[in-house]
Amino acid sequence: MLYHVRMDVSIPPDMPADKANELKAREKSYSQELQRSGKWRHIWRIAGEYANYSVFDVEGNAELHDILMALPLYPYMKISVTPLCRHPSSVRTGDA
């Protein structure tokens, strides 16, 4: 299943820089691992915000939930999820 996910990050301003940097490094490593596996298909920065739009390709709700909960920055995120399905007018055949 495909999911459109918006993630807004709000790291507390009083978090020590070394802790924030360590969380960001773990987040980057985890997200790139998921991208390489094909589960995190796309990630797009939202200009001017500490936020992104992403597309996940996972088995279902439970797998997406587990992936999102494992994000190192999860405690500092507001996340909204929209399930996607193929549009009948799409000319692309590679998307489910």
Concatenated DSSP letters for 14-83? Answer: TS-HHHHHHHHHHHHHHHHHHHHHTSEEEEEE-TTSSEEEEEEE-SSHHHHHHHHHT-TTGGGEEEEEEE
Residue 96: is its pLDDT beyond 70?
no
Average pLDDT in the chain: 95
- Cα separation, 24 vs 77, in Å, equals 13
**Residue 88: predicted pLDDT:** 87
In order of their start, the domains of the chain are: 2-84 (3.30.70.1060)
The pTM is what?
0.90
- For 33-45, how does the pLDDT look when each residue is reduced to its tens digit (9 = 90+)? 999 999 999 999 9
